[in-house]
Each structure stands twice: as structure tokens, then as C-alpha cells.
Structure 1
Amino acid sequence: MAVAKKRSAGSVDAAVYRPGVERRRFLTYLLAAPTVTIAGRFVAEGEWAGVAGAAPVAAAGRGEIIDLGELARLGTIATAPLMVLTVGTDGGARFLLPRLECGQGIATGVAIMIAEELDLEVDRVEVQLERARGELVANQLTGGSTSTRALYDPVRALAATARRRLVQAAADRWGVAADSVRTEYGEVRGPGGLRLGYGELAGAAADRRYVGIVGAPKPEAEHTRIGKRHRRNDIHDIVTGRVKYTMDIAVAGARPTMVRRPPTVNGGVASFDERAVRAMPGVIDVAVISTGIAVVAETFGQAWAAKDAMAVEWTAGSIDERSDADIFAELHASTPAFVAPPVRNAALGIDYLEAEFDWAYVNHAPMETNCAIADVRADRAEIWCGLKLPTVARAAIAAELGLPADRVTVHVVQAGGSFGRRMYHDAALEACEISKALGMPVKLMWTRSDDMRHGRARPAMHHKLRAVLHRDKVVGYEQRVAAATCDELIGFDSFVHESIAKGLYPPVNWLASQALFQLENSIPYDLGLVSEVMNEVSIDYPTGMWRSVYSGPARGVEEIFMDEIADRIGEDPVRYRLRVLKDRLDKQVVEQVARVGRWTEPMPSGHARGLGFHAEYRSRTACLVEMDASDPARPRVTRAVIAVDAGTCVNPSGVENQLLGGLTDAISTVLHAGLHIEKGLALEGSYSQFHFARQRDSPLEVEFIHLHSGGPPGGVGELGVPAAVGAVANAYARATGKPVRGFPVLRAVDFTPFPR
């Protein structure tokens, strides 16, 4: 059955691109324009593309395990073009990226993909961030290590189609066959030395004669840019201060704004004397808002001084009488029980092993604190902010302001770090509340203390593990977890009508948390009958998804437990893992990291090696570290070796940066970094108190091993944390001879907290 193509001014003609065994077909739109402009969207398998001559395509049905990232990719299907690529008259390419660049390097990765297919230099590809587009919904999500996987085939298809049209335009101009010309370094080159730059061909290639032409991406064997090391396209601008983050953007009339926050989380304003504050130098206006008292001034220094000078009476917060001790007591009491009582029988060779672990709340602590610019008018609103889910933020803001969604514009701004923090739009929402209350544009900045004390954190957790052994084989494994409730809905509830949200939020969020926990914690080992259960405990403290969410703590302690099982049965931890790992490719990364890391070589007293493994996001990694814990109170990771197999590697440097970041997070949260909750507030208020790893805590030597088992790219953004958690904790335990049970290991309050 044929479907007629629509032809009208500004319309598009569609052609189907089928990227091999991928779970999506990609529909490429070819737009008639003065420049070569290609746009495309995802189409769900089995959906009829509606193109003349196109037949329905059945689902691939590969029967593979679907991980978290796969679910994100297969989620919401946008009906409008997702992405737009343009080749301009200057010969360069420009691409609108429906993701947030927040330091992970995705903009550079996409530029490499485009440069590969267009035969351009990578620095000739300009990647700009797409503003929030409501029709994209979850397709504009940055998270779950999905960006490279989701974009790899579609982006290359767009660029290949642009290249194919340029080639045809040149061939027609020269009167030669298209297969007799080639592209190289931004030019189309033909027989007899014929050459035309992309800029010279951009207008011709946009002719409607070429609308039906679709190009296929290069096979991997022909890649000259993908798989090669590239420095970040924006690195020079970052180190020279030229990148514009949210606070660098000049919006007419937007004045510096800060908020005086309560002395405990979720407290409110009872009363305050605003006359003295209004008389302070530079103060423009003051307003009570839902989260505290907003001050707008001529400078941030003046706003800061004014907010700190306020005399305020506060209402109670949500956990005013709660501290670490009783929070962990509740988590311990709420941890689900094991299935059956333990049994030992020496005659039958039956034994068991148990361990319990605590994880403190952990702040995201990105270098750029929470911030946003908002200009709210009676009939519209415009926001600038670094957001990983801008479509959700836009809908939430529209609902909060009582505006139609199409009257709210959200500009996505490059962010200075996230680690999950910018999945949430609380700064944008707060800026809008202030702008509406005061009737002026505002430039809102949270202080570091605001972010650490009133921002979100990875939930505190308690883990109980049990392994049942029959001689040297584990025949049963149980993991029981109690975790403070984590906001998994990422604010989806905030634009649902209040009465509905109150009724649906707890059960829906619980289901989201359970699904996330199960998807992230697939055990790679043969441990017999496996049972994993998580119980969420309602503690009204602001939480959020922190890099690797549940797999960092859950898989991390499993890796510690693997060492302890090996010790119980008298087997080397590496040999034991190789014996019980189920996947051949998983074994390869462990073998390689142990070999290069010199696992079997002796080390001095107080020094030790530790190893951890993790597989997720269609990728796998093993991490080995060497630690000097001759002074157990001042441990130092001195060397690390990381092996990774992440399928096709777009940019090895980018992969290594991500894994090094995961190692740094592991060193931090295992050894030093965790919040202390005391009477309703975190004691930590800055980097001087929140002991995230410094340069002195980082290894002097890090070596990477890249294995390539084939296939499309896997995810790496969160992959490295769980393996490194296991490696660092195991090294500390081996070096000190003491099992690790609480995180961070070194948890003393060795600082004077800021005033509340």
C-alpha cells in the first residue's frame, strides 16, 4: 500500500534509513532550504513510516536483556524531527543537540560522528544545545548513559545523507556519475582534479531535486575519525573562561538574586523585618517565596550581604529532630529480612557469609552551583538554565505559572557539572517564582552552602548481604537494601494537578525506584539462587539520582562481598571472579586489568591492590587500584588500571575521562565524602567541609586498556563508579586488614560547620 507524499511550501519528503540490527529505524527528512539542512526523528519498530512504497517493518526481537538505557531509548517517540543538521555556505556543519553538555563531552562526541560522515575536520562542526521542545518529551533526556548510544546511528545517518546530497549536486554540475566523485576535508573531488568546497555546493545541494536521496553511514572499517583520540572542542574556551554558563548570560534587566534559606531543610518563613534589609546598599527588592526570602540587588555581593543580615523567624522543617544516628537506626530496622535463617553443616559442606554496609547521604557537588535566569511576564516566560530534562522543566514551569506550555521558552545552557543534579529543575522553578512575585527578570544563584545543605543528595542506604556456600560454590545469594526515598520521577509530578500528584506520587515513585534498582543491579556472577529486594523509607530530605544511582552502592558492596567470599573459601579474588563470571567478555576485562595491574606481585606492608568489576549499559569495565594505607587515617590511591569494553568507541579520550571521573567519585565516597545530618541540616556547607577527592587524593598513574568486542557504542558515563568503588574498598581492606562496613570510611567531623 502506497501513501502519497505531501508536497507544499516548506514541506518535507521522507525516506527510511534502517541501521542494521538497531532497535530503531531512523526516518530522515530532507528539507529544501538555502543550505543543506537535514532533520530526523526516531520511529518505533513496527511503526509504518508512511512513505511511498515503504512496508511495515517487524520488531527485531533479538531477545536481549534490556538495560536501563535501552528503556530510556525505547521510551517516548517524538512525532516531530528530533535533530537538525545544517551544512552552510561557509562549508562548516552546525547541529542542534537535544541533550545537555555538562562536562561529559557529548558535544565533542557528536561532532566526531558528524565529521566522520561528512569528511570534515572535527573543529568545523559546531554543536549548539537545543532549547526545550515539548514534543520531544523523554527524547530530550540526558542521563542513564544513553546519549552516545541513542545518537550514534541517527546522527551519522543525518550526516551521511548531507554528504550524499553534496556529492550528487557536484556530480550533476560536472556532468559525471556520482560514484566517480568522493569527499575529503570539506570538499567534493571529482575526476581530473575537479574540486568544490561544501560551501560552494550548499545552495545547490538544497535543491528539491535531491529530496529523495538518503545516504548510508560508513562501515566501521572506513572510519578515520571515530575511534581516534580527540580533545574536547570546547576545552580551550573552558580553560580561558570563554564558555558562557548560566551566570555569564546577559539578559536585559535581570539582576543578581539570592535566597536566604531556613536553618533546617524544608523550613519556611514565619516573619521577618524587611525594612532594615531594604535600606542596605544596592538592594532593589525583597520577597517571601516558598523556599525562603529572595533578595534582588545591584550585585551578588550586595544580595549576599543583605540576605545574611536578615533577622528571620522560621517555621519548622521536615526533619528538625533527626540526625544520622536515628536515620540509620530506622534504615537498619526497615531492611527486609532474609528468606530463611542461616544454616551451617560442616559434614555437608554448607556454610554462609553475611555482611552489612551503610552509605551516608552524598551531595552531587558540581563546580557550578544551582542557578537560573527567569523573565516571567503576564502572558509568557523565558528561562535560561542547565537542564537534563528541559521538556519536563518547561511543563512544570508552565503549570506553576498558569501559562500554556507554548508560552514558556526554556533555553538549555551548558552546565559546569551535574552527576545527576541537573535532572532536577528546582533552580529554574524558584527563579520563575521570584520573577513572577517581583515583576522583573532575575538572575538567581545558589551559594555553595545552599547547594550542599538545601540541595539534593544521593539517599542514605543500608545493605545486608548473605551468601550460602556449598563447599567452594555459592548456591544462594541475597541482598536486602533499605534506602531513604529517592525522587525518581525527576519532577514529573510537579506539573500534575496537585490533588492527583499527592495521591499518585508515592506509589508511582516507589515503582520507578524498584524498577531502577532491579535494572541497575544485574549480577554478572553465577551465585545460584539470587534474591534482591529494596525497601524505601520515607525520610523527608531532598534527594535525587546521583551518578550511577543505585548501582554504585549496591554493586560496589557486592564487589566487596566477592572478595570476602573468595577469602572464606581460600581462593584468590581474581581467580574466583574468573571462575564464576558468566560472560566470556566480562572475563576478558578482568583478565586484562589483573595482568597489566600486576595483581600477583607482592606489595609492602600497609600497601595493597584491590579490584572491582561492573557491567551495564552494554559495556563492561574492571578497575584495579594500588593503595598506600600505611597510615590508615590517610590512605592514598597511588596507581590505577582500568580496562573497558564499550563497543565502538567514538572518542577514547572521552571514555577515559568518564572512567577517571568514576574513579574519582569512588575514591571520594568510599574514603572521605559523605554528609553528616544533624538536627535537620547537613553540617557540610562547602568543599572545605565536604571532603571530595582533591589532587592529593588522586593516583599519580592511571593506565587504560581498551578492548573492542564489536557492536555499537555502549554507555560509559556511569559505568565506572561501581567497579571503582569495589576496587578502592577492597584495597583499603587488604592494606589495613579490616573489613570495610561504613561509607565513607573516614567519617569524622574534622571541621567547624558554617552557621545555620
Structure 2
Amino acid sequence: MGRHKSAVAERPRRNTVLTTHTVGRRRFLTYLVAAPLLTLGTEAVMQATSSSTPASAAVPSPPSPEDVFDIGEALKLAATPTMPLVQLEVGADGIARLQMPRTDMGQGLLTSFTMIIAEELDVPLDRVEVTHADARPELLFNQITAGSAAMRTFYEPIRQMAAIARARMVAAAATRWDVDGASLGTDAGAVIGPGSLTADFGTLSAAAAALDLATSSIRPKDPSEWELVGTPTGRVDARDIITGQKKFVMDHMAGTAKPALVRRPPTIKGAVGEVRNAAQVRAMPGVVGVVPIPTGVAVVADTIEQARQGVNALEVDFGPGPVDGESNATILEGIKQHVQPFAVPPLGAATVEAEFDWAPACHAPLETECAVADVRADRAEIWAGFQAPIVAQQEIALMLGLPQDAVTAHVVAPGGAFGRKCFFEPATEAAQVSQALGMPVRLMWHRTDDMRHGRQRPQNYHRIRATVVGGQVVAYEQRVSAVALEVAPGFGEILTDVATSLPPRAKNTVGEKAYSQTLFLLMVSSPYNLGVYDRTLAEIGNGIPTSAYRSVHCPTTRTCEEIVLDEVAALLDKDPLEYRKECAKDAAAAAVLDEVARLSGWGRSMPEGFAQGVGFHKESKTLTACVVELDGRDPQDPRVTKVTMVVDAGTVINPSGLEAQMEGCIAEAISLTLTAGLHIENGLPLEGSYSNYDWLRMRHYPKDSTVHIMPSTNEDIGGIGEVGITAASGAIANAYATATGIKPRSFPIVFPVDFEPFAPGALPAPNLI
């Protein structure tokens, strides 16, 4: 794949739904925060099917909040005031340096930022250094990584910074040589002048910085001039990763900080009582400390194995937790009780109705939760994979009794996150233990802790009804009920900040409960015209720790809609893919769906027990369509055999990075739709390792897998970190239904307890996990 610039005039422009002339920001945000319930009446439904609507057209739906102003726009808006505090520097060594206020968790931000700077500054990739910035309180809301918003937020500012830096270099050279700057060019980190004149950026940097240069008229390159952006590029940190040179969290202070593990309660959030044998455990070989903390009892030792043995030897009086005795089944029954009823459908209408439930899931990144802390009497340093480092710095300083500026929160590349590291319990625990012992510690959650006591994607339930009149869906109702999603620290403040234009009464509705409702509205929207929408979320706080999981509410909520859409298409005797084109809101959808149909061989004859399925999704201004082929001959062992995904993300910085993101999303979709979830029994998940958390193994990933990127349109850049899961999940579920004749209603579809759970509280030996 190369640059994509030739097809701009050959494809439809996006039918963007930014109807700001009809939906004012003040009015929209009132709807957004208040999350009003739309009452769907018979009269409204019948009016939607008036004779003025052609029989072949889908009944238009009003724009949803996400169509108008999504979470990425909220994060971008909140970051704008402090963007001038983010600076690009070119040193005397000619290297361009940027401290990135976002966290690269594997999604490739370091590479994309480097590519943009190198492109606009005209320097080689290896002359750009992008690193993670420590917590910088002055950045306020501009240092939180979430919502697929990093590139959407920084794309234009970084381009502009680099373009200004290049202009300064040219102006400095023109002054040095006393020539017209218009006669000069740049290449490979140098200014090129008439004849043999040349000057390296490093030799010009001091003079360039001292220039009094007007910058308002400086513009970045036109995309037609790009040589690097839009070209597939390998990760800039790939060599360091594969050679072991790249430092992850637990690589910091190795040999100085002592390893620590924690004995945790036998149920979720169980109370921590008396340690009956602390002295005996302290006397064990290698153990240097036993520290009770609010979440358990930490054991610090010379080696991680000595710490594990010490943890298992502890005798602790634990008290009850908030969900003792609860299970997936009892929690599901509880959240079902809060589902609101549907409106009454019009007489003579046909309906497609379904109920779905999704088990809780854990984030399960390759790197378990961990942090390194060195707390002294007057200062502290913390190393962790923070997604919200400023809030972490504030809360840790308060906990330690130190001024905020005495705590340095170092942002370290984590080995995966998927939203989990918006919370920072390991950093808090490490700081508590370090302060208690007066020594640096490297605290790691055991894999069993990570799965059993970590934050979950909430268990959730859906009731859906599509009302069909005259061969058209005229109303779509979806009731979602779930264990409450805890909104990460910092998000609430951002959502409050962007709602500053609300009337006073509406402002007062912004509270902890409103934040998760707002996230639901800002992230979940249907890409289809299905008449009158009525989608609501009810949340039940039961004490289970939860966190946003990649794409948050979209994979469950929208996958259920994708299944129902297939069932509506069957009712109307229409091809599922063609029906999606007919209903799609976005003008670019047809191109994406046509391309996925062409590349996948949609509609081709399949052997008995095999089937194709299609899914479509729009999120973060990006469109994805996916066709899956699935072997369903054994309904209890379904296998995805082929995946074709087509992505339209507007302007594409690095096609290789986008492709990798989509492949990761496909793997997650296969796992969470077919096999991966948590079984809660007696107040604790049974799963405690990869050996019994049925995540996809590489042998299960389809050998025939294609990710096709639509030609760049030079339009707004779309988010890509999350959008790929939902379309793939919908395609998998629909392929399973066609292949097996079984309509999937509970997820994951294949979910037995086919392992012997580890005993609660104990940490298994390394050979068992």
C-alpha cells in the first residue's frame, strides 16, 4: 500500500451530519447531559411512514448525539486551550524532539507523531525523537489518552508546529546567506540554497529560535506534497521491542527496587482485617517487609518468587465484599429488573424482538497491572502506564501527604491497556508500600489478581424491538441495562468543561451518574436510518470494579443491533449487505460496503455448516465494514476461517499502523463474541490465568485475513483505535446464526467452565498459569 491521493474525486463525499444550523450546541448539550427518554407513540410511528416516503427508502432517523459531537470532539475541544504549551524543539544536534502528552499503549502513536513531524519538517525519521511526557498539571485536560482521540486532537497542531519550525530554519538560513527565502528549500534536515549552499538544521537552531518571525501565514504542506505520511511505515520502536531494549514499567529501577505482590481477599473488594502471622512471614527467606494496605496485604522480597511464597503463607482475616454470594446469573437477573418497557407498537405492525446478554470481561493485556514507586519523606517518583497521569499525580500526592509538585509521575509505555490504565490502583498501592517501608518497590499484580480483582467490562443486558410497517423499519427501540461503568478520573471534569454553555439548571444535572450516560450517548450511534430511535441505558451500581473497555459500550450495544438488522432483512426477504446499504445514513457507506462485498466474494456458495456474515459500524468519524466466514459445523466449537475488513478513516497517517489496529480488533472480536468472558461465582471470577480465560490463540486467528484501507480523502482524520471491534463482532454473530441455524443471544456464545479454578486468595505457581 502506498499513498492514497488519486481517488478523491472518484468517490462520494461523506454525508456529514453536522447540522449545527438546526441543532445548536446549547440545545444539543442539554439533551446530551440530561439524557432524556424519548417516548415513542403510535402517531409518530405512523407519521414516519407517510405516503411522501418512497417505499424503497429507509425511514430517516434524526441525528444522534454521536453523529453531531462525539467523545473525540469533546476531548479535542477540552485540549485546545493548553495546546500552545506542547512544544516541538530542534536541538543543536539537528534532532527534533517532542514530549507527547498521550500514551502509546501499542497503538502506534509514537510512530504516527514521528511521521507527521518528519514529513512537515523535512527530516529523516531517525532525526525525530518522540517520548512520553511526565504528568504536566499545566496541561489540564490535554493529557488523557482515550476515545481514539489522540491523532484527531494533535494532527493539525503537530503539522503546524513542524511547518513553523521548518519556516524558521529557512528564514535563519536566508538571513545568514543574505538571500531571498523563497529561493531556498529543505531536504533531509538541511536548508538547501543556490549553488552549493547548505546548512544543517542543528547549525541553524539557535538563530531560528531567536528570529522575530510572523507565523500566522505559515501553512503545512498540501497533501499532494506528502512523501511519508500515507505510506506504510514500520514502528519506530520495533527494533527496541524485539531486542528487549524498550523499557516497560517493570524494567524501571530493576536491581534497586524490591519486587512486591499482594495477598487479596477471596471475594471482590473484600474487607482487609488483621494479619495473624506477619512476624513469621517477615522471617521467611528473602522477605523484607509485610505491609497491610486497603486492598490487601503486600509482601516485599528479594525475588518475585519469594514474594509469592510469602503472600501464600499469610493468614489474614478478610471481611465480606459487596457481591459475596453473587454470580453471573444473579447479577443478570438484577440488571434485568431495571429495563424500561417498550412503547406500544401501531396496530398492524410487524416486529422483530430479541433479548441479549453479555458476560463481564477482563482487559487481560499481556502486561499485568504494575507500577514502580520510590517514596521519600519529601518527594516521590512513580513509574506506570498512566492514561491519565495528571489525576494520578494529584491523587497520589494527596494520599502521601505531599505537595503535588513533589510527586513525579513518569508515563511509561505499557504492554497493553485497552482503557484499563485510565485507573491507576497499582501506582497507588506501590506508593503506599514504598512509603511504609521507606524503600523503592516494584509492585506487580499476579495474573490471577489481574483477572479476578481487576476492573471489568460490565456485564450487560439488551432488549430490542424493531417495528416494521409497509416493508420499512419505522422505529427502533433498545433498552440497555448494565452493571454501572465507573468513569475514569479526569473524564468527568472534561465532560463538565465542555458543557460550560449549559443553562444553570442543566449544569446541575452533570454528576457521576450523568457522566456514564454522556459517554453512552457520545459513543454509541447507529449508522442506519431506522425511523424513530429510542435507545436508553440503565446502570446498576453493585460494587464490582468496572472500567471502559476498548470502544466502551459500542461492541455490545451495536453488535446486538447488527444481529437484529440481519433478522429484519430476513423478514423483508432482503440481502443483509444490500439492506445495510439501503439503510445507511452516510453517503460513503455504500463505497465501503461495495468494497467489502467485492473483496470477500459476498454471496458465494458455501458448504453446509459454513456461512458468511456481515457487520457495519461508524465510530470516531471512521467507517468499517466486515465480512466473516465461519465454520459452524460444531456449534460448540465455531471457527472463523476468513475475515475481510474495509476501513474508511478519512486521512490516513500510517496504513501499516491502521492495519495492525484492525487486526487486533478482529482478534478481540473473535474472542469476546465466541469464547472469552468471566464466570463470577460466590463473589469472585473463576478465571485466574490465560490457561482458563478462553482468549483467542494465534492458531485460531484466520489465516485468510484482509484489511483494506479506502483511499485517503484528505478529509478530517478519523479515530482507529476502537472502531474495528463492532463490525467484526456483528459479522461473527451473523455468520454463526446462518451457519448453525441458532440465533445467538448470550455472549460469549461458547462459555463453559471447562477448567479447574484456582483456590481464592492463593497465587498459583508459575508453571500453572
Normalising TM by the smaller chain, what interval? 0.7 to 0.9
- Answer yes or no: is the 8 Å Cα contact 1:165–1:213 preserved in 2: no
The match for 1:90 among 64, 78, 93 is 93
Structure 1 residue 363, shift from structure 2 partner: 0.3
What one-letter code is carried by the residue in structure 1 that aligns with 2:425? D
What one-letter code is carried by the residue in structure 1 that aligns with 2:314? M
The match for 1:285 among 286, 289, 292 is 289
Higher relative contact order (CA 8 A, sep 6+): 2
The match for 1:218 among 210, 218, 221 is 221
The match for 2:172 among 148, 169, 172 is 169
Specify whether residues 213 and 517 from structure 1 end up closer, same or farther in structure 2 by C-alpha distance, changes over 3 A only.
closer
Aligned mates of 1:269, 1:131 — CA distance in 2: 33
Specify whether residues 493 and 569 from structure 1 end up closer, same or farther in structure 2 by C-alpha distance, changes over 3 A only.
closer
Structure 1 residue 471, shift from structure 2 partner: 3.1
What one-letter code is carried by the residue in structure 2 that aligns with 1:382? E
Determine if the alignment matches structure 1 residue 546 to structure 2 residue 545. no
Aligned mates of 1:740, 1:80 — CA distance in 2: 47
Higher mean displacement: 371-380 or 420-429? 371-380
Determine if the alignment matches structure 1 residue 100 to structure 2 residue 99. no
Determine if the alignment matches structure 1 residue 718 to structure 2 residue 717. no
The 3-state SS of whatever aligns with 1:138 is: coil
What one-letter code is carried by the residue in structure 2 that aligns with 1:427? P
Specify whether residues 264 and 335 from structure 1 end up closer, same or farther in structure 2 by C-alpha distance, changes over 3 A only.
same
- Answer yes or no: is the 8 Å Cα contact 2:422–2:488 preserved in 1: no
Structure 1 residue 505, shift from structure 2 partner: 13
Specify whether residues 441 and 526 from structure 1 end up closer, same or farther in structure 2 by C-alpha distance, changes over 3 A only.
same
- Answer yes or no: is the 8 Å Cα contact 1:142–1:388 preserved in 2: yes
Specify whether residues 212 and 471 from structure 1 end up closer, same or farther in structure 2 by C-alpha distance, changes over 3 A only.
closer
Unaligned runs of 5+ in 2: 1-15, 19-65, 494-506, 761-769
Determine if the alignment matches structure 1 residue 367 to structure 2 residue 371. no
The 3-state SS of whatever aligns with 2:750 is: coil
Structure 1 residue 749, shift from structure 2 partner: 0.4
The 3-state SS of whatever aligns with 2:87 is: strand
What one-letter code is carried by the residue in structure 2 that aligns with 1:191? P
- Answer yes or no: is the 8 Å Cα contact 1:617–1:715 preserved in 2: yes
The match for 2:200 among 171, 191, 197 is 197
The 3-state SS of whatever aligns with 1:171 is: helix
- Answer yes or no: is the 8 Å Cα contact 2:143–2:389 preserved in 1: yes
The 3-state SS of whatever aligns with 1:330 is: helix
The 3-state SS of whatever aligns with 2:759 is: coil
Higher mean displacement: 438-447 or 216-225? 438-447
For residues 172-219 of structure 1, what are the alpha-carbon distances to aligned partners after superposition, in whole Å with 9 as ceiling and x for unaligned?
222211111111112211111322222222233223445868732101
Higher mean displacement: 671-680 or 170-179? 170-179
- Answer yes or no: is the 8 Å Cα contact 1:114–1:159 preserved in 2: yes
- Answer yes or no: is the 8 Å Cα contact 1:471–1:569 preserved in 2: no
Determine if the alignment matches structure 1 residue 308 to structure 2 residue 312. yes
Unaligned runs of 5+ in 1: 1-20, 24-62, 495-503
Structure 1 residue 82, shift from structure 2 partner: 3.2
Specify the alignment match of 1:664 in structure 2.
Answer: 667
Structure 1 residue 591, shift from structure 2 partner: 1.4
Specify whether residues 77 and 199 from structure 1 end up closer, same or farther in structure 2 by C-alpha distance, changes over 3 A only.
closer
Determine if the alignment matches structure 1 residue 508 to structure 2 residue 511. yes
Determine if the alignment matches structure 1 residue 588 to structure 2 residue 591. yes
Structure 1 residue 506, shift from structure 2 partner: 12
- Answer yes or no: is the 8 Å Cα contact 1:336–1:534 preserved in 2: no
Specify the alignment match of 2:136 in structure 1.
Answer: 133
Higher mean displacement: 314-323 or 245-254? 245-254
Aligned mates of 2:382, 2:255 — CA distance in 1: 13
- Answer yes or no: is the 8 Å Cα contact 1:489–1:509 preserved in 2: no
Specify whether residues 742 and 614 from structure 1 end up closer, same or farther in structure 2 by C-alpha distance, changes over 3 A only.
same
- Answer yes or no: is the 8 Å Cα contact 1:472–1:569 preserved in 2: yes
TM normalised by structure 2 equals 0.86
The match for 1:728 among 715, 720, 732 is 732
Aligned mates of 1:356, 1:553 — CA distance in 2: 12
Aligned mates of 1:506, 1:582 — CA distance in 2: 31
The match for 2:246 among 230, 240, 243 is 243
Specify the alignment match of 1:327 in structure 2.
Answer: 331
Show the 5 A alignment for 1:305-704: 305-340=309-344, 342=345, 345=348, 350-490=349-489, 508-704=511-707
Show the 5 A alignment for 1:58-77: 65-75=68-78, 77=80
Structure 1 residue 296, shift from structure 2 partner: 1.0
Structure 1 residue 493, shift from structure 2 partner: 8.5
What one-letter code is carried by the residue in structure 2 that aligns with 1:280? M
Structure 1 residue 400, shift from structure 2 partner: 1.7
Aligned mates of 2:509, 2:544 — CA distance in 1: 15
What one-letter code is carried by the residue in structure 1 that aligns with 2:689? S
Larger relative strand fraction: 1
Q: Percent identity at matched positions? A: 46
Determine if the alignment matches structure 1 residue 274 to structure 2 residue 273. no
What one-letter code is carried by the residue in structure 2 that aligns with 1:69? G
Specify whether residues 511 and 402 from structure 1 end up closer, same or farther in structure 2 by C-alpha distance, changes over 3 A only.
same
Specify whether residues 483 and 697 from structure 1 end up closer, same or farther in structure 2 by C-alpha distance, changes over 3 A only.
same
- Answer yes or no: is the 8 Å Cα contact 2:79–2:153 preserved in 1: no
Structure 1 residue 384, shift from structure 2 partner: 0.8
For residues 382-426 of structure 1, what are the alpha-carbon distances to aligned partners after superposition, in whole Å with 9 as ceiling and x for unaligned?
111110110111111122222221221101011110001111111
For residues 489-547 of structure 1, what are the alpha-carbon distances to aligned partners after superposition, in whole Å with 9 as ceiling and x for unaligned?
437799xxxxxxxxx99982210111111121211211111100110012211100000
Structure 1 residue 672, shift from structure 2 partner: 0.5
Specify the alignment match of 1:112 in structure 2.
Answer: 115
Specify the alignment match of 1:255 in structure 2.
Answer: 258
Aligned mates of 1:147, 1:556 — CA distance in 2: 25
Aligned mates of 1:290, 1:402 — CA distance in 2: 17
Specify the alignment match of 2:300 in structure 1.
Answer: 296
The 3-state SS of whatever aligns with 1:334 is: coil
Aligned mates of 2:522, 2:170 — CA distance in 1: 45
- Answer yes or no: is the 8 Å Cα contact 1:609–1:625 preserved in 2: yes
Structure 1 residue 67, shift from structure 2 partner: 1.0
For residues 440-482 of structure 1, what are the alpha-carbon distances to aligned partners after superposition, in whole Å with 9 as ceiling and x for unaligned?
2211111111110001010000001001101320011100010
Specify whether residues 449 and 232 from structure 1 end up closer, same or farther in structure 2 by C-alpha distance, changes over 3 A only.
same
TM normalised by structure 1 equals 0.87
- Answer yes or no: is the 8 Å Cα contact 2:488–2:547 preserved in 1: no
What one-letter code is carried by the residue in structure 2 that aligns with 1:414? A
- Answer yes or no: is the 8 Å Cα contact 1:254–1:441 preserved in 2: yes
Specify the alignment match of 1:145 in structure 2.
Answer: 148
- Answer yes or no: is the 8 Å Cα contact 1:138–1:389 preserved in 2: no
Q: What is the root-mean-square deviation of aligned Cα atoms in Å? A: 2.1
Specify the alignment match of 1:55 in structure 2.
Answer: none
Aligned mates of 1:303, 1:506 — CA distance in 2: 47
The 3-state SS of whatever aligns with 2:88 is: strand
For residues 546-599 of structure 1, what are the alpha-carbon distances to aligned partners after superposition, in whole Å with 9 as ceiling and x for unaligned?
000001110111111110110111111011111111221122211111121111
Aligned mates of 1:508, 1:209 — CA distance in 2: 47
The 3-state SS of whatever aligns with 1:191 is: coil
Structure 1 residue 77, shift from structure 2 partner: 4.8
Structure 1 residue 251, shift from structure 2 partner: 6.8
Aligned mates of 1:468, 1:394 — CA distance in 2: 51
For residues 20-67 of structure 1, what are the alpha-carbon distances to aligned partners after superposition, in whole Å with 9 as ceiling and x for unaligned?
x9x9xxxxxxxxxxxxxxxxxxxxxxxxxxxxxxxxxxxxxxx98111
- Answer yes or no: is the 8 Å Cα contact 1:253–1:440 preserved in 2: no
Structure 1 residue 701, shift from structure 2 partner: 1.8
What one-letter code is carried by the residue in structure 2 that aligns with 1:395? Q
Structure 1 residue 344, shift from structure 2 partner: 5.9
Aligned mates of 1:367, 1:64 — CA distance in 2: 34
Aligned mates of 1:713, 1:296 — CA distance in 2: 47
